[in-house]
Structure 1
Amino acid sequence: MTPLVDKTRIETKVIELLCAHFSTHRGAMTARSRLVEDLNADSVDLVEISMLIGEAFNLDLPSDEVAGWQIVADITRSIADGYRRSPVEFPN
Structure 2
Amino acid sequence: MSGAIDGRMMRLLSECLPNARHGIEVGSRLVEDLYMDSIAVVEFVMVLNEEFEMDVPAKVVAEWRTVEDICSWLKTAVMS
1-structure distance, mates of 2:41, 2:49: 12
The residue number in structure 2 matching 1:39 is 34
Paired residue total: 80
Identity of aligned residues (%): 32
8 Å Cα contact 1:31/1:71 also seen in 2: yes
Show structure 1 runs of 5+ residues with no match.
1-5, 86-92
The residue number in structure 1 matching 2:9 is 14
Show structure 2 runs of 5+ residues with no match.
none
State the superposition RMSD in angstroms: 1.5
TM-score, with structure 1 as normaliser: 0.76
Q: Which has the higher helix share?
A: 2
Tell me whether 1:76 sits opposite 2:71 in the alignment. yes
TM-score, with structure 2 as normaliser: 0.86
Aligned structure 1 segments of 4 or more residues deviating by more than 6 angstroms: none
Residue-by-residue CA offset, 1:7-34 (whole Å, 9 max, x unaligned): 2111111111111111046442111111
